[in-house]
Amino acid sequence: MAAIEQGAPLAYSIKEACRVSSLGRTRVYQLIAAGPLEARKLGRRTLIPAASLHKLLEGDRDAA
């Protein structure tokens, strides 16, 4: 497992994931539903693990 950068988030909210990836909210939810983007529910919040978002953006199709 790669080392975690100091101060880097472990997970992103949907809004944060949209901001850092330049993807729209609908597209983020589509990627979650289709499988290439992981998501975790914590109460009412949906969080996307940073590692999953990074793998998706790096082009790793086996990210999830």
Cα gap 11→8, rounded to integer Å: 9
pTM (predicted TM-score): 0.80
- 14-21 vs 25-34: helix crossing angle, rounded to 10: 110
Domain ranges of the chain: 11-58
- Residues with Cβ < 8 Å from 10, sequence gap 6 or more? 4, 49, 50
Higher-confidence residue of 16 and 63: namely 16
pLDDT digits (tens, 9 = 90+) for 4-51: 678 889 999 999 999 999 999 999 999 999 999 999 999 999 999 999
pLDDT at 61 > cutoff 60: no
